[in-house]
Amino acid sequence: MKTQSMGLAVITGASSGIGAVYADRLARRGYDLLLVARSREPMEDLTKRLAAGAGHKVEMLAADLTDSNDLAGVERVPRAARYATVRAVRRGVYV
């Protein structure tokens, strides 16, 4: 059963480490997630695991944020989302 989303959390560096931990915590708190990282394979595993357990929308985007085209693509997603709440986690810190 899906509950109402708390909003969209955009998490960069989500393929491992503290980014993956924050993704797990925010999913448990009821946020839909957009996971962003350069490494697609580890992020795919995390996306599947979180989507199965969270009951909320979990999407991923492979992007290198040092590349201006990739960065522009990531910036478009929250703007296009219909969520009023957008939180981003960058290197484990809410921005």
**pLDDT of res. 38:** 87
**pLDDT of res. 41:** 85
Q: How far is 52 from 47, CA to CA, in rounded Å?
A: 8
- Structure tokens, 54: 């969270």
pTM of the model: 0.76
Confidence of residue 91 (pLDDT cuts 50, 70, 90): low
- Per-residue pLDDT of 27-79, as tens digits, reads 888 888 889 888 888 888 888 888 888 677 888 888 888 888 888 888 777 66
| Superfamily designation of domain 8-94 | NAD(P)-binding Rossmann-like Domain (3.40.50.720)
In the predicted structure, residue 19 carries a pLDDT above the cut 60:
yes
